[in-house]
């Protein structure tokens, strides 16, 4: 299996900059997960990698950090990454990174994921 190339969108880079200002340790975590995805074309089950639906159909989301049980979601304990893969050119395109509330404002986030 050929390694995917990485192409972050400007929105993704801005999101990383914002996340780094909140907690610098998020950046190496994101880079490590993306590098694994580039090499293997899939992530371990613990990342809960899944397809998105409705207006985000065609994109995927994985959970980097999930809100611990009994805690309120915040921008540093509820981190996900949205991406898509261009199979024709073998490119992983990083779209966004952040919390559910930042990436999906106004949507019901009552479903909680816990690692």
- Would you place residue 110 in the very low, low, confident or very high pLDDT band (cuts 50, 70, 90)? very low
pLDDT tens digit sequence for 1-21: 789 999 999 999 999 999 999
51: helix, coil or strand?
strand
**Residue extents of the structural domains in the chain:** 5-103
Beta bridge partners of 97: 81
Element (H, E) at 7: strand 5-8
Average pLDDT (46-66) is 92
Q: Which CATH class is domain 5-103?
A: alpha beta
8 A C-beta contact, residue 94 and residue 12: yes
Could you tell me the two tokens for 3?
Answer: 């390694």
Q: To the nearest 10°, report the CA torsion of 26, 29, 31, 37.
A: -140
Q: To the nearest 10°, report the CA torsion of 50, 51, 54, 58.
A: 150
pLDDT at 107: 67
Decide if pLDDT at 93 tops 90.
yes
């Amino acid at each position: 299996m050929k390694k995917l190339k990485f192409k972050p969108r400007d929105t993704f880079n801005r999101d990383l900059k914002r996340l780094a200002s909140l907690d610098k340790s998020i950046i190496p975590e994101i880079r490590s997960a993306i590098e694994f995805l580039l090499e293997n074309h899939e992530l371990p089950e613990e990342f809960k990698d899944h397809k998105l639906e409705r207006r985000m159909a065609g994109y995927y989301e994985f959970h980097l950090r999930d809100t611990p049980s009994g805690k309120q979601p915040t921008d540093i304990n509820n981190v996900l990454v949205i991406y898509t893969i261009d199979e024709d050119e073998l490119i992983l395109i990083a779209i966004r990174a952040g919390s559910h509330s930042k990436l999906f404002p106004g949507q019901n986030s009552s479903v909680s994921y816990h690692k």
